[in-house]
Amino acid sequence: MSTQAGSDRERLTGARELADLATELLEDAGMAPVPARRVADSLVASNLLGHDSHGVRRLPGYLAAVRGGLVDPARGGRVLSRHGATAVIDGERAFGQLAARLAADELVALCEEFAVGVVAVQDCNHVGRLGEYTARMAEQGLVALALSNADPTVAPYGGRERRMGTNPMSWALPRGEGRPPLVVDWATAAVAEGKLALARTRGMSVAEGLLLDSEGAASRVPGDFYSGGALLPFGGHKGYGLSVVIEIVGGLLSRAGISSRPGYEGHFGTVLIGVRIDAFVPLAEFRAETEEFCAALAETTPAQGCEEVLVPGEPEERTLAQRRRHGIPLPSRTWEELLALRGAAGGDGAPGPYGNQGDPAAR
């Protein structure tokens, strides 16, 4: 049962209902049932964890990408080559979630054999939330790192033009037995583009220091980004430096290329790195000491204006529990857009390939 929620016209939707609808839309676009469900579950999992920017709001753009030939719904990725503790995945222009999941599983296998591993994904479309894959690897006893470059949307530190992607990265590692992994997952931009798009959908302004308008002036209006503005790196020169490294490593190891340079075709240069913990220390010991440290962090006296100290991943755990009980809040506009796509094979006037209202440079 779904209900209306709040004055901001949000609709509470059950995870199963939402996944069923997403699966139906993906199957209509040409996917087989099993991979369609995997992509749908990936999107809904992002919604459940509170990362709505990477949830089902992406579907209209994904379906438009299928219609435009940017995504091949019949493909799922394949292992292209292996060399020692490294592998290359051919994403086959499939849905990026399928290629990234294959890469994560290949990395686990490499780490079982070599204790370490590195996997790059070529011809990779948008993979969704990187933390999904690092968590999957951490659950197998790995310290995991994932990074990806993307279409140019971010200005370099001190500049005003788009030269880098939002270039996300994620770390994950195991906590105590029975606990979800510790996961950090963020864009090196001051705000993920998807969160900016969500703010625009909801008619909200954003905090200062996140974006510039087309004239290079600071702005709090999400629409200014889509009118030729640029995102800013987080943390000034520090986030900028990290983004530069991700742009180069993600773009070149995957052969996607530097996103603002000639030859880049819009792929997401995704690289996964893993280390098997028990090659260095017993896994149970690592888990126990990590959990003790997390407990010590939680016991820290809160600063003024704060109620408690949380460990990375815990806000998402709380959101997951809340949304499983009460449903996922979706903007009514998003729900209506998904319903309109039923049987329409992507429909006319859908957002651009990755949900950004037709701005190919803002994917």
Whether residue 311 lies inside any domain: the answer is no
Paired tokens of 83: 């060399």
Question: Is there a single domain that holds both residue 110 and residue 54?
Answer: no
Torsion angle in degrees (nearest 10) through CA of 328, 195, 77, 149: -160
Question: Is there a single domain that holds both residue 274 and residue 331?
Answer: no
- Residue 130: what pLDDT? 98
Whether residue 255 lies inside any domain: the answer is yes
Which of 284, 300, 316 is at the close of a domain?
284
- CA–CA dist 206, 230 (Å, integer): 14
**Cα separations (Å) of 302 from 158, 186, 308, 319?**
35, 24, 5, 21
User: Which residues have CB under 8 Å from 147's CB, separation 6+?
Assistant: 130, 167, 168, 169, 170, 246, 249, 250, 270, 271
Whether residue 22 lies inside any domain: the answer is yes
- Residue 60: what pLDDT? 95
Q: Which amino acid is at 188?
A: T
Question: Is there a single domain that holds both residue 87 and residue 66?
Answer: no
The pTM score is: 0.90
- Residue 354: what pLDDT? 41
Q: Which domain holds residue 271?
A: 78-189+233-284
Could you tell me if 208 and 220 are in contact, meaning their C-beta atoms sit under 8 angstroms apart?
A: yes
- Residue 2: what pLDDT? 41
- Residue 30: what pLDDT? 96
Angle at 66 between CA 62 and CA 68, to 5 degrees: 110
State the total domains in the chain: 2
What letter would DSSP give residue 123? S
Angle at 290 between CA 289 and CA 293, to 5 degrees: 85
Question: Is there a single domain that holds both residue 12 and residue 140?
Answer: no
What letter would DSSP give residue 56? G
- Residue 6: what pLDDT? 41
Question: Is there a single domain that holds both residue 85 and residue 171?
Answer: yes
Question: Is there a single domain that holds both residue 35 and residue 84?
Answer: no
**Per-10-residue mean pLDDT, the chain, length 363:** 50 95 97 98 98 94 96 97 98 98 98 98 97 98 97 96 96 96 95 85 91 96 95 96 98 97 95 98 98 97 96 96 96 92 57 37 34
- Residue 346: what pLDDT? 41
Could you tell me if 359 and 223 are in contact, meaning their C-beta atoms sit under 8 angstroms apart?
A: no
Question: Is there a single domain that holds both residue 161 and residue 243?
Answer: yes
Domain with residue 9: its CATH number is: 1.10.1530.10
